[in-house]
Amino acid sequence: MSGAPFGARLDGAFAAHGHLCVGIDPHPYLLQEWGLGRDAAGVRDFGLRVVEAAAGRVGIVKPQVAFFESFGSAGFAALEDVLAAARAVGLLVIGDAKRGDIGSTNDGYAAAWLTAGSSLEVDALTVTAYTGVGALSGLLDTAEAAGKGAFVLSATSNPEARVLQTATTDAGENPGRTVARLVADEVAARNTDRTRLGDHGLVLGATQRLEDYGFTGDAGRTLSTTPVLAPGFGFQGASFDSIPAVFGQLAPNVVVSVSRSVLALGSASPAGAAGLAEAIERESAALGEVLR
Ligand SMILES: O=c1ccn([C@@H]2O[C@H](COP(=O)(O)O)[C@@H](O)[C@H]2O)c(=O)[nH]1
């Protein structure tokens, strides 16, 4: 399956393991609770423990790059080890780095993250479109050609983004669209050649009323082949039960991301590793009941 397009591999992960994605977010307070150092060795051990607990229980992990980047080159070396371990056990890896710049610089990000054999190789990368979706076109092309994907921020889970992402624009063929919907439509247009999932996804926060962001009426049809990365569950307040109401027809496309709410269960006690694995199994089963 590794030579297949990202969208097909994502669909395969859904079929084999369900929709849960475990975040690898080594917050300083979690490092302390897990009895790990607040240093590169600590984030490496943290990441490797999450990979071990996730392997065979879910299909997808999402390392939060910021917490590795905090420790400079040693942190990136730690991340490389975690990415390699995740890929070695067959987990699909979404690198949450939120890269985005002018087009020629985005090509550099594509070379770093979305190129087979690079030390930071991931299966998909989170990216921002504040420089315009067009500025991402080289990166998205590189991703697709390499069997990889991207998730473009559209309606994010944090409350501060609302004013920007719900602003309307007169650009394009449909004046009055929100910024979030404009981004979504431009990304979704790249997935229209697929019957199931394409390679180019969106970030839509589970904490939001997506109607407020312009996802009304035709959104289910327009985005029907677009993968959705949905953070905001657990710690940020959204619950799995809300998925049908929030995502409607898009629910089968959703990668359900949880970080702190499960990571809090991997403590320093001898039962910590088992506790994390059990928590992942429990969350995955609960999600399966909703998305069945
Ligand atoms: O809109 C967004 C985009 C990304 N994130 C990231 O997801 C996780 C959420 O962590 P939790 O502990 O489950 O709240 C984190 O890495 C964020 O940077 C997001 O929350 N919202």
148 given a catalytic annotation: no
The SS3 call for residue 136 is helix
Dist. CA 231 → ligand 1 center (Å): 5
Q: Which of 96, 202, 203, 240 to mutate to test the pocket of ligand 1 (most atoms within 8 A of CB)?
A: 96
Nearest-Å Rg of the Cα atoms of the chain is 18
Residue 283 CB–ligand 1 contact under 6 Å: no
pLDDT value of position 265: 86
Give Cβ neighbours of residue 178 (< 8 Å, ≥ 6 apart).
165, 166, 167, 168, 169, 213, 214
pLDDT value of position 13: 98
Q: How sure is the predictor about 271, in pLDDT bands with cuts at 50, 70 and 90? A: low
**23 and 96 Cβ atoms separated by less than 8 Å:** yes
Given a cut of 80, is residue 204 above it in pLDDT? yes
Residue 76 CB–ligand 1 contact under 6 Å: no
Give Cβ neighbours of residue 254 (< 8 Å, ≥ 6 apart).
19, 228, 229, 230, 243, 247, 291
Domains annotated for the chain, with CATH where assigned, are 6-288 (3.20.20.70)
Residue 23 CB–ligand 1 contact under 6 Å: yes
64: which strand partners?
A: 96
Q: For residues 184 and 153, what is the distance between their CA atoms, to the nearest angstrom?
A: 9
Asked casually if ipTM beats, i.e. exceeds, 0.95, the reply is: yes
pLDDT value of position 63: 98
**232 and 205 Cβ atoms separated by less than 8 Å:** yes
Predicted TM-score (pTM) of the model is 0.97
Q: How sure is the predictor about 36, in pLDDT bands with cuts at 50, 70 and 90? A: very high
